[in-house]
C-alpha cells in the first residue's frame, strides 16, 4: 500500500511518464482484441445452432406443407407468369384477386420513395390473416418482392407467398397475425410500407388502410430461378447493423437441416467445410456487413 501511495505521489509531482503510456496501452488493447477475434471461431469458444426458447421445439416440427400444396404452387406460378410482362397495375390486380379468392383482406399502398438520391415509385399489395387465438397485438410479416435486387422476376418467391397465404388461412393455430406483403421491387417497397406502418412516412407515401399489432419479425422469399437447389442462403444482416431474433434465425436453420435435409448457407460461403479458416471468413464477412450497415436487399429493411 505504501508503494502505491509513493507511486501516486511521484506521478502527481511529475506526470510526464503518464503521457508516454497511452500509445502503448492502445497498441496492447488492439492486439488483445485481434487475438480474441481469432479465438472466436475455435470449437472451444463457439456453439452450434441452438434454441434458447424451449417452447419453440423446432426439432419436433412435422411438415404438412407438401403434396397438394405443390400443385397449388404451380398453379399460382402459371397465373402470375401470364402477367409477367404486363404493367404492374395488371400484376397488382392479379395479386389482389388471388388473395381475395383465398378469403383474405387485401389492401394496397402507393408510394414515391426517395433513397440514396433516387426516387422509386410503385404500389405495395398486402393481406392480413387475423390470428384466431390472438388479440391483434402482435404480427409477423412474410415478404416477396416482384423483382429481385438484380431485376429478375421473383415468380417462385411470389407464388410461394400466395400458396402459404392460402395454406395458413385453413389453420386456426396462430397466436399472431400474419401479414403477406408483395412489393414491386427489393429496394424501396418494403421500407415505404414499414415507414407507413409505424406512421413515420413522408407525404409521398400513402398511409396503410389495414394494420395489425407490433411487428415481431419478418421473413422474405427470394426464389427467382427454376432449377433444383441443395441449400438455402439465409441473409440476416439488417440496416445499421441490426440483427434478427436469434431463435428465429436458428429455427430456420434447424428446420432446414433437420426436417428438409437442406443445408443453410451464410454470408455467401457456398462450400463451407467447417474448418477454422471457413469459420473465420464467415465471421469476418458478417462483421464487415454489419459495420457497413447498408441496405442491399429487401431482407434488410428496418422494422
Report the CATH number that the domain containing residue 173 is assigned in CATH: 3.40.630.10
β-pair partners for 126: 107, 181
- Return the beta strands (E) in 61-201 as ranges: 105-115, 118-129, 138-145, 177-183
Rounded to 5°, angle at Cα 292 from 151 and 38: 120
Query: Residue 197 has what pLDDT?
Result: 93
Do 99 and 190 lie in a common domain?
yes
Q: What is the pLDDT of residue 221?
A: 86
Q: In total, how many domains does the chain have?
A: 2
pLDDT computed for residue 13 by the predictor = 66
Would 218 be classed as within a structural domain? yes
Show pLDDT as tens, one digit a residue, over the chain (303 residues).
Answer: 566 676 667 666 666 666 667 777 888 889 998 888 888 888 777 777 677 666 666 555 666 777 788 889 999 999 999 998 889 899 999 999 999 999 999 999 999 877 667 788 889 999 999 988 778 888 999 999 998 888 888 999 999 999 999 999 988 888 889 999 999 988 788 888 999 999 888 888 899 999 998 988 888 888 887 777 777 777 777 666 667 777 777 777 777 776 667 777 777 677 777 778 778 877 877 777 777 765 555 544 444
For residue 207, how many C-alpha atoms fall within 13 Å in the half-sphere facing its CB?
Answer: 6
Residue 37 in any domain: the answer is: no
212 and 144 fall within a common domain = yes
Nearest to 237 by CA among 303, 150, 297: 297
Domain membership of residue 114 as a residue range: 62-226
Residue 145 is given by DSSP the state E
CA nearest neighbour of 165 among 86, 209, 78, 104: 104
In this structure, the answer to whether residues 212 and 239 fall within a common structural domain is: no
Amino acid at each position: 500500500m505504501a508503494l502505491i501511495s509513493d507511486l501516486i505521489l511521484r506521478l502527481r509531482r511529475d506526470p510526464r511518464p503518464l503521457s508516454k503510456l497511452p500509445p502503448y496501452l492502445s497498441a496492447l488493447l488492439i492486439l488483445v482484441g485481434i487475438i480474441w477475434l481469432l479465438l472466436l471461431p475455435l470449437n472451444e469458444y463457439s456453439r452450434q445452432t441452438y434454441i434458447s426458447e424451449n417452447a419453440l421445439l423446432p426439432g419436433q416440427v412435422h411438415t404438412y406443407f407438401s403434396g397438394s400444396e405443390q400443385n397449388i404452387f404451380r398453379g399460382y406460378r402459371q397465373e402470375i407468369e401470364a402477367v409477367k410482362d404486363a404493367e404492374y397495375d395488371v400484376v397488382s390486380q392479379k395479386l389482389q384477386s388471388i388473395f381475395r379468392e383465398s378469403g383474405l383482406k387485401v389492401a394496397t399502398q402507393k408510394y414515391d420513395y426517395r433513397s440514396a438520391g433516387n426516387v422509386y415509385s410503385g404500389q405495395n399489395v398486402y393481406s392480413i390473416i387475423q390470428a384466431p387465438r390472438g388479440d391483434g397485438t402482435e404480427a409477423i410479416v412474410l415478404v416477396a418482392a416482384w423483382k429481385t435486387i438484380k431485376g429478375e422476376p421473383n415468380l417462385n418467391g411470389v407464388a410461394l407467398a400466395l400458396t402459404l397465404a392460402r395454406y395458413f388461412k385453413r389453420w386456426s393455430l396462430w397466436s399472431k397475425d400474419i401479414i403477406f406483403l408483395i412489393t414491386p421491387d427489393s429496394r424501396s417497397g418494403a421500407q415505404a410500407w414499414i415507414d407507413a406502418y409505424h406512421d413515420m412516412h413522408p407525404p409521398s407515401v400513402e398511409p396503410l388502410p389495414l394494420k395489425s399489432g407490433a411487428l415481431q419479425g419478418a421473413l422474405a422469399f427470394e426464389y427467382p430461378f427454376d432449377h433444383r437447389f441443395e441449400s438455402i442462403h439465409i441473409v440476416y444482416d439488417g440496416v445499421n447493423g441490426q440483427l434478427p431474433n436469434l431463435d428465429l434465425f436458428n429455427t430456420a436453420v434447424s428446420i432446414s437441416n433437420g426436417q428438409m435435409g437442406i443445408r443453410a448457407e451464410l454470408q455467401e460461403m457456398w462450400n463451407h467445410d467447417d474448418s477454422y479458416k471457413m469459420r473465420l471468413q464467415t465471421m469476418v464477412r458478417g462483421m464487415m456487413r454489419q459495420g457497413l450497415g447498408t441496405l442491399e436487399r429487401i431482407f434488410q429493411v428496418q422494422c
